[in-house]
Amino acid sequence: MDNFLHIQNGQVVSRADIPDLDFSIFQEAVLNATRHSGFVVQFFAYTDEQSILKLITVIRAGLDLYTAGCSLADEYPSLTPECEKFHMFEREIAEQFGAHPKNHPWLKMVRYHENCRGKKDVFGNDYSHDIPGNYPYFTVDGDAIHEVAVGPVHAGIIEPGHFRFQCAGEEVLSLEIQLGYQHRGVEKLLEQAEQPLTRLPTIVESIAGDTAIGHSLCHSQAIEALAGLKVNDGAKVVRTIALELERISNHVGDLGALSGDVAFNPPLNYFGRIRGEFLNMLLTLAGNRFGKGLVRPGGIVFPVLEEQRRIVRDKVAEETPGIADVCDLLFSAHTVLARFEHTGTVPRNTAEKLGLVGFAGRASGLSYDARITFPTEAYAQLEANKNKRTVGDVYSRANVRREEIMHSLQSITDLLRQDIDAAPIAVPAYHTLAPDSFVVTINEAWRGEVSHCMLTDKNGSILRYKVKDPSFHNWTGLAMSLRNQGISDFPLCNKSFNLSYCGFDL
């Protein structure tokens, strides 16, 4: 990574300092890094002030982050045949900017929308048609093969997406997942010119509502870096607690849902209620059950004083034994274990090749946790978590979540022991961003690595706003977990990942 710039999480760098490499040199360096232990945090395109199409990447290798860029031609040799980690990123660039990665092994749309440069559509789609219809679905031929199509509207209160299974009897040979139905143009909205920055937090909180805190933190930290704002220690503690409450509520809810999927109803109902208690704790801090409204650039909007701390402290203490009991009930039931174990396995080498992140990555033996590797807020003070079973099956993903819940409960208790009053910031606050700058922020939200990246122009306006939800990496993991599984195990595998449609679709 000699020709890359070494950067820190949330550090402002001048765009001029980012190495602008020759494409072939760039490609070789990126591939060298990612073929081994490097992972892609960001890999996106933008048009610069001279209307030249540029590519920028952020790579993480061990404890370090590196960045570099290059110019991008309308056609370029794809990196994906050499390294799968780029497959979705290259498709995204093709869709957003109409740049064609030659020899991409499976070039198809990501979210079904026109590119922003008015270039000929790479996928040959006609967007005057409402329905995202033109999918080049993968098919398996043969007399015994049948195809199952599910969605976009599913049987339940759940987001839309299309799943296409190729099965031999009950066995799934291949699952293809096509999303895009939730696409609402988030990045374009964030990049709108002449728009006050004060609108952005409201949009960012709704990239994925179950990750409202995770995305808000990435956004706020980026603005804080570009505007040179300092966040007080009390607010950092509250923001950390909020992210952990978000983690617990989602993990608890999903463990309940997993239990429901194997027809063991008591934990479904207990965890369903307990999840609500944690959403109510977020309401105690934010006035909103998803924590919306709490985090803004510069700190937090509502004071968190002894009263709020007491409510959260007491509730956490009250619920902890019950959570441990219900976990014990779930994980010691034979019927549950029989369904969880050896189901939907994503082995470590597959996870590594695809670059899975978050609890799903950890359940497959990739220990990366951004709370430890790139700590923000108050995370440097907290103990790291450890995972026991990491063989990549449903059991591992469930058990990692169980471990994370217990770890988060302890972290919140520890943080609340500090008893610091957290003063709010005044809103609305208008900030000026550093011109011609670049910043990348990373946080470990409950699903994994959330990252935002901002580029400003010479007036300090936003030139490019790139959002990455962990689901962008992990949907492919779900597809892989279904290989050679019974199709009836799909709900279970799906819930064990519980990926975001809207976070992916943007």
Partner 1 sequence: MLKVIKNRWKQGYRTTKYPKEEINLYSRFRGLPTVHQDCDKKLVRECAEACPQQAIDIDKMVIDIGRCTFCGQCEIQSQGKFVTFSNNFELGTSSRDALFTSGSLPALAEHSKQHFKNLFGRSLQLRQISAGGCNSCEADTNVLNTPFFDLQRFGIDFVASPRHADGIHVTGPISNNMKAALFSTYEAVPAPKVVIASGCCSISGGPFWGSKDIVGDLNRLIPVDLYIPGCPPHPMTTLHALLQFFK
Residues 339-398 that bind partner 1 (CB under 8 A): none
Q: Which of 383, 373, 375, 417 is nearest to 403 (CA)?
A: 383
Q: Which of 209, 276, 322, 491 binds ligand SF4 (CB under 6 A)?
A: 209
Determine the interface stretch with partner 1 among 321-329, 336-344, 452-460, 489-497 (rule: CB under 8 A).
321-329
CB-nearer residue toward partner 1: 392 or 503: 503
State the Cα–Cα distance between residues 149 and 112, nearest whole angstrom: 19
User: Least distance (Å) from ligand SF4 to the CB of residue 452?
Assistant: 18
User: Taking CB under 6 A as the rule, which mask of x and - marks residues 338-367 in contact with ligand SF4?
Assistant: ------------------------------
CB-nearer residue toward ligand SF4: 469 or 489: 469
The amino acid present at 420, given as its one-letter code, is: I
The structure tokens listed for 297 are 């650039």
The structure tokens listed for 487 are 């199709």
Residue 198 found at the interface with ligand SF4 (CB under 6 A)? no
Q: Which of 182, 385, 390, 408 binds partner 1 (CB under 8 A)?
A: 182
Site for partner 1 in 400-429 (CB under 8 A): 424, 426-428
Residue nearest to ligand SF4 (CB): 206
CB-nearer residue toward ligand SF4: 206 or 320: 206
Q: Are strands 20-21 and 64-71 parallel, antiparallel or unpaired?
A: parallel
Residue 206 found at the interface with ligand SF4 (CB under 6 A)? yes
SS3 430: coil
Residue 326 found at the interface with partner 1 (CB under 8 A)? yes
The amino acid present at 143, given as its one-letter code, is: D
Q: Are strands 437-445 and 448-456 parallel, antiparallel or unpaired?
A: antiparallel
| Residue 199 interface partner, choices ligand SF4, partner 1, none, CB cut-off 5-8 Å depending on type | partner 1
SS3 396: helix
CB-nearer residue toward ligand SF4: 159 or 176: 159
Determine the interface stretch with partner 1 among 180-188, 437-445, 447-455, 477-485 (rule: CB under 8 A).
180-188
Site for partner 1 in 271-310 (CB under 8 A): 272-273, 275-276, 279-280, 283-290, 292-293, 301-302, 308
Secondary structure in 3-state letters for 251-281: HHHHHHHHHHHCCCHHHHHHHHHHHHHHHHH
The amino acid present at 298, given as its one-letter code, is: G
Q: Residues binding partner 1: what is the number (CB under 8 A)?
A: 74
The structure tokens listed for 120 are 């000929």
CB-nearer residue toward partner 1: 284 or 376: 284
Measured between alpha carbons, how far is residue 448 from residues 117, 158, 410, 455 in Å?
32, 21, 19, 23
Q: Which sign does the torsion angle of CA 300, 357, 100, 483 carry?
A: negative
CB-nearer residue toward partner 1: 16 or 157: 157
| Residue 63 interface partner, choices ligand SF4, partner 1, none, CB cut-off 5-8 Å depending on type | none
Determine the interface stretch with partner 1 among 7-15, 140-148, 334-342, 494-502 (rule: CB under 8 A).
494-502
Determine the interface stretch with partner 1 among 125-133, 134-142, 347-355, 484-492 (rule: CB under 8 A).
125-133
Enumerate residues 6+ apart whose C-beta is below 8 A from 11. 225, 439
DSSP 422: B
Q: Residues binding ligand SF4: what is the number (CB under 6 A)?
A: 2
User: Least distance (Å) from partner 1 to the CB of residue 342?
Assistant: 24
| Residue 177 interface partner, choices partner 1, ligand SF4, none, CB cut-off 5-8 Å depending on type | none
User: Least distance (Å) from partner 1 to the CB of residue 192?
Assistant: 7
Q: Which of 111, 89, 100 is nearest to 355 (CA)?
A: 89
CB-nearer residue toward ligand SF4: 151 or 293: 293
Residue 329 found at the interface with partner 1 (CB under 8 A)? yes
User: Least distance (Å) from partner 1 to the CB of residue 339?
Assistant: 17
Radius of gyration of the CA atoms of the chain, in A: 22
| Residue 136 interface partner, choices partner 1, ligand SF4, none, CB cut-off 5-8 Å depending on type | none
Q: Report the length, in residues, of the chain.
A: 506
Enumerate residues 6+ apart whose C-beta is below 8 A from 212. 205, 206, 246, 290, 291, 292
| Residue 198 interface partner, choices ligand SF4, partner 1, none, CB cut-off 5-8 Å depending on type | partner 1
DSSP 287: S
49 by Cβ neighbours in 10 Å (0-12 / 13-18 / 19+) ranks as exposed
| Residue 266 interface partner, choices ligand SF4, partner 1, none, CB cut-off 5-8 Å depending on type | partner 1
Measured between alpha carbons, how far is residue 292 from residues 16, 22, 303, 304 in Å?
36, 43, 14, 15
Residue 193 found at the interface with partner 1 (CB under 8 A)? no
Question: Contact 439/227 with Cβ under 8 angstroms?
Answer: no
Measured between alpha carbons, how far is residue 352 from residues 63, 102, 474 in Å?
17, 24, 11
| Residue 413 interface partner, choices ligand SF4, partner 1, none, CB cut-off 5-8 Å depending on type | none
Instruction: Please provide the DSSP assignment of 331-375 as one string.
Output: HT-HHHHHHHTTSS---HHHHHHHT--HHHHHHTT----HHHHS-
User: Taking CB under 8 A as the rule, which mask of x and - marks residues 428-447 in contact with partner 1?
Assistant: x-------------------
Q: Which of 270, 231, 201 is nearest to 428 (CA)?
A: 201
State the Cα–Cα distance between residues 9 and 372, nearest whole angstrom: 12
**Phi, psi at 59, each rounded to 5°:** -115, 140
CB-nearer residue toward partner 1: 188 or 458: 188
User: Least distance (Å) from ligand SF4 to the CB of residue 253?
Assistant: 16
CB-nearer residue toward ligand SF4: 208 or 323: 208
| Contacts with ligand SF4, residue ranges (CB under 6 A) | 206, 209
